[in-house]
Amino acid sequence: MEDEFHELTDRVRAELRSPQDLVAYERLLGLARKNTPAGREELARMLVAVERPLWAREIAAFILGCAGDKRAFETLVLLLNYRDPVRCATAAHALSRLGDPRTARAAAALATNPLRTAYALHPVRLLAELRAPQSVPALIATLERLLTPHNPYWRVALACVEGLGALGDRRAVPALTAATAHPRLAAAAAASLARLGVHEPPGDEGRGDGGGAGDPAKEGPAAAKERPGG
């Protein structure tokens, strides 16, 4: 947690706007260093206190989440779906260490929601890291929805492709095969298929130089006779 926590606190320090903010910030860092039950109780109260700045709740939720305290769950899921990608990444890191069975369901709901695709990158990556029962179906569904021409969310689709390759589930083969037709996804999709033991798109085996059934120029005499009018 050390590197991620230092990145978080350095970023938050730049957001402080008053001497009171600095005092509250230093208090949070003190609680993190002590890591006592009493300190975690204070952090948990901070998550539900009114008029607390977002950065304070973010630090408190991160500390509790990395400690496996499930009281951080709601705040971390809120941050996972936040408009700021840096906060999404911080929340995903803590959620991956929280050990709450609700995490995969929440990440899958965010990843597959077409209204939240712009913020789906970190939920997708989190699903791949969690390796939960929801992971593969959610990544397949999200990838298939994004396989449209000129889709602006190709980075989310790429994360799905990479995640499916890492998860190693052959249910992903059709979606990954379809992804090979998209220039920005083709190399990663081929690599993920290779990890699944598929080195050619299914149905291409034995098709030689690109011909196949339905192409009279590539068929033998017997096949031609079997077609109506052959």
Nearest to 43 by CA among 11, 70, 16, 19: 70
Q: Poorest-confidence range of 103-107, 131-135, 216-220?
A: 216-220
Q: What's residue 206's pLDDT? A: 36
When pLDDT is cut at 50, 70 and 90, the band that residue 71 belongs to is very high
* pTM for this prediction: 0.82
Six-digit token pair at 221? 């005499």
Ramachandran region, residue 210 (left: φ > 0; alpha: ψ -120 to 50; beta: rest): left
Phi, psi for 75 (deg, rounded to 5)? -65, -40
Percent of the chain past pLDDT 70, that is, above it, reads 86
Cβ contact 128:102 at 8 Å = no
- Percent of the residues in the chain that have a pLDDT greater than 90, as a whole number: 75
**What pLDDT, in 10s, does the model give residues 36-66?**
899 999 999 999 988 889 999 999 999 999 9
SS3 83: coil
Q: Alpha-carbon distance 52 to 50, whole Å?
A: 6
The whole-number average pLDDT for the span 87-102 is 96
pLDDT tens-digit readout, 4-17: 899 999 999 998 99
Which pLDDT does position 216 carry in this prediction?
33
Residue 198: name the closest of 218, 226, 219, 175 by CA.
Answer: 175
Token reading at 5: 């926590």
What residue type is assigned to position 148 of the chain?
Answer: T
pLDDT value, residue 52: 86
Token representation of residue 41: 């109780």
8 Å CB contact between 157 and 180? no
The Cα–Cα gap between 31 and 63 comes to 9
Helix axes 2-13, 19-34, angle to 10 degrees: 170
- Alpha-carbon gap, residue 107 to 134, rounded angstroms: 9
200 — pLDDT class (breaks 50, 70, 90):
low
DSSP conformation class of 205: T
Round to whole Å and give the CA distance between 182 and 14: 40
Question: Which of 22-36, 132-146, 203-217 is the most confident on average?
Answer: 132-146
